[in-house]
Amino acid sequence: MRLAPLGLVLALAACVSPEGPTSALETADGLPLKLSRERIEEISYGVFEIVVPKRSEMNLTYVGGRTLPVEELPFQQRNDKYEAIGTAFALQSGRLVSAAHVFQLDRHAAVREFFARDRFGRVYAVDSVMRFSQYRDLIEIKLDKEPPRVEPLTVSADAAVGDTVYTVGNANGEGIAVRDGQIASFTFEPVAGAWKDVRFSAPASPGNSGGPLLNTRGQVIGVVVRKNANENLNVAVPIAELTNLSAKKAEFFAPSSEANRDGEPRREWRYRTKLPQSIDKLARKAEASRRRFHLTQWQSWMDSRKQATFPRDPLLQDYLWDQTYAQHMQILSYNEKRGYHLTPKAPVSDAVTAAGEQVYTLIDEPHYSMVQIEIPPSASHIAYVKQPAMILDAVVEAFALYREFNGRRIPIKSFGPPQATGMFVDTLGRPWLKATWRTHFNLSTIQLNCLTAPLGFGCTVDMIDTADETRGGQEKFERHHAAEIAMSYWGDVKAWKRFLALSKRFVPSFLHGMTVAKDAQGVVSLAARDVKMRYKQPLFSDKSWLFLGVGYGMGEALKPEVQLVKLEHGAGWRVSEELEVVAEPPQSSPVEEKTWWVQVLNGGGAFNGKASEQGDKRRVFRMLGLKPGAKGRKIVQFVSCTAAKDNPARASIEATCDSIKKGYDGTNGALAH
């Protein structure tokens, strides 16, 4: 199509009075130069906003009982009961055409109630999907009832570069707007070049998606679908592509560049299902298919790398024989420089909540956090298990989370009860509490996963787009990544008794049946799956501190082992007993480690049976047992007893260690003595 020569346009203009209709100005091909007011009025009866009900965040509360300053919002925004998410238009009465991505039927959503709103503000529920192609980004929907007045639009396949075009649609949620521009080019669609998209300069704001791209006669030449990534241009699918949509099958599709994450093999996702269907039923089927796709892709990738990832990676063995332990939750990570190692080494911050919880921040990233929460001594784990909001409330307070609202930061107090709760047991035999919150104001999901511990809980907190739940992140965590979270156990004896009194549902399997106590004769007994200790320690009390270093199995990583037991007593815990399992260092180890190992085996150095001075402490070692390990390496178990030089107990550390050695009993494959 060509525009009329400038001289002809000027001549036509001279023949028209200022009051004459603008449609009198035409191109040489007979097209009006611009849409007339009358035509725009007619078109308005065929264009609809796609809206969803505004959801009140009834469970969301703010610090100090504050409320959102809704009165500061523009009139339309504060009074509208709906939120506009896109545009649709009628080509026949009772049915509307829009862009498929407006409805995101293949992604998880907290709600799936869609409505079409006409120019008079009347809303009509979207009942069913008649045609659907995610590949073409087109959808045809049927309303539950027909609006009283609809003016279906007409279509045209006649379009050329330079033509004046109009976008008609919801602009930033502020109602239907009509804006003009020109066709800039026709470019192949990016996946397979099956058709040429229309690129145009007419403005298209968020919410314009699904609206018609019109020529100057008001005919539909395309459906607005997206902005161009690299230029200030927008993109429409030619209206002719609507004829290529099946009326019998919905076509779901995601290109490999979009469909794969988390190391998944690059592969397109495709899914087809019958039409027509209700929009809710269709969405549930599509989301389930895409979730299965992501999990299958991920599992395939994991299986292909089975010998190079946790827990089968041969490089893991060096770490298994030289594990470390900390009094906080950690992640097992790998890099070429450090190999397998645990992070973080220490909390980055801590805070005390108004309820008395001590919250230690271990990792604080934009979408992922890890925390250790110590509950008050008088509190019950079960109260937190029954009300996971208590855990998240402590995190919210410690992190000082806030909500952005109209340029203000409103501090959040609580997200209220979760929308979903549950438990799962990881491959290490540890029960996890899980809870999910979904917020409407930012379309986000908060996923909480927690391990119980003597002093409280160790938790991971993920914040993701709700739509991304479809990618199966929680399932991947439960199947694999949870086992990469390392957790030892610690606390005073009173806290341990509270912890061990919980139902077995909440205690790791390797701690089932564990006891720690002192009898009337002053004999301390500690029994767990891997160790048993009986010895006299008059300083033992409910205030004594017990640390269990739980590591991955030296032989089989997924069979956890108690590899370190440390009991500390008295003021400042200056008297202690420590039982440790140590593996023979590899040949590549430094000379000092090899020398130490020889001393362990031959009773030299600190293992000569005599107490030695180490700084301000006096310490003595006793060997408990020796057994062969994997690849010919040996494993030893020994105990050390320590007291500060100025503590009266320093004189009895040899007797204490001898008592432990005498009463020690290795069980369940632990070392003989």
In this structure, the answer to whether residues 67 and 200 fall within a common structural domain is yes
In this structure, the answer to whether residues 514 and 625 fall within a common structural domain is yes
The more confidently predicted of residues 375 and 109 is 375
Contact by Cβ (8 Å): 284, 318: no
Cβ-based burial of 418 (10 A; exposed 0-12, middle 13-18, buried ≥19): buried
In this structure, the answer to whether residues 429 and 496 fall within a common structural domain is no
Mean per-residue pLDDT, 373-394: 97
Q: Is the model's pLDDT at 481 over the cut of 80?
A: yes
Q: Is the model's pLDDT at 310 over the cut of 70?
A: yes
Contact by Cβ (8 Å): 84, 51: yes
Residue with tokens 């979207």: 126
Q: State how far the Cα of 588 lies from the Cα of 434, in Å rounded to an integer.
A: 43
Q: Is the model's pLDDT at 3 over the cut of 60?
A: no
- For residue 21, count other CB atoms closer than 10 A to its CB: 13
Q: Is the model's pLDDT at 672 over the cut of 60?
A: no
Q: How far are the Cα atoms of 8, 294, 359, 413, 452 from residue 354, in angstroms, in the given order? A: 79, 42, 11, 11, 21
DSSP assignment string, 465-521: EGGGGGG-HHHHHHHTGGGGEE--EEEEHHHHHHHHTS-GGGS-GGGTT-EEEE-TT
Contact by Cβ (8 Å): 356, 367: no
Q: Is the model's pLDDT at 541 over the cut of 70?
A: yes
- Return the CA Rg of the chain: 34
Q: How long is the chain? A: 673
* Helix, strand, coil percent values for the chain (each to nearest 5): 25, 35, 40
In this structure, the answer to whether residues 526 and 437 fall within a common structural domain is no
In this structure, the answer to whether residues 125 and 243 fall within a common structural domain is yes
| Structural domain boundaries, residue 13 | 1-33
The more confidently predicted of residues 573 and 10 is 573
Residue 112: what are its φ and ψ, rounded to 5°? -135, 55
SS3 state at 420: strand
Q: Which two tokens stand for residue 64?
A: 């100090």
In this structure, the answer to whether residues 21 and 40 fall within a common structural domain is no
> What pLDDT band is residue 432 in, cutting at 50, 70 and 90?
very high
In this structure, the answer to whether residues 454 and 377 fall within a common structural domain is yes
Q: State how far the Cα of 416 lies from the Cα of 389, in Å rounded to an integer.
A: 6
> What pLDDT band is residue 5 in, cutting at 50, 70 and 90?
very low
Mean per-residue pLDDT, 297-319: 88
pLDDT digits (tens, 9 = 90+) for 586-599: 887 889 988 999 99
If one counts the domains in the chain, the total is 4
pLDDT digits (tens, 9 = 90+) for 94-114: 799 999 999 999 999 877 899
Q: State how far the Cα of 185 lies from the Cα of 639, in Å rounded to an integer.
A: 79
Percent of the chain with pLDDT over 70: 92
In this structure, the answer to whether residues 19 and 67 fall within a common structural domain is no
> ω before 206 within 30° of 0 (cis)?
no
In this structure, the answer to whether residues 167 and 254 fall within a common structural domain is yes
Q: Is the model's pLDDT at 21 over the cut of 50?
A: no
In this structure, the answer to whether residues 452 and 544 fall within a common structural domain is no
Whether residue 382 lies inside any domain: the answer is: yes
DSSP alpha helices (H): ranges in 610-652? none
Of 203, 178, 225, 171, which is closest to residue 49 (Cα–Cα)? 171
Q: State how far the Cα of 360 lies from the Cα of 456, in Å rounded to an integer.
A: 11
In this structure, the answer to whether residues 29 and 46 fall within a common structural domain is no
Q: Is the model's pLDDT at 296 over the cut of 80?
A: yes
Mean per-residue pLDDT, 65-82: 91
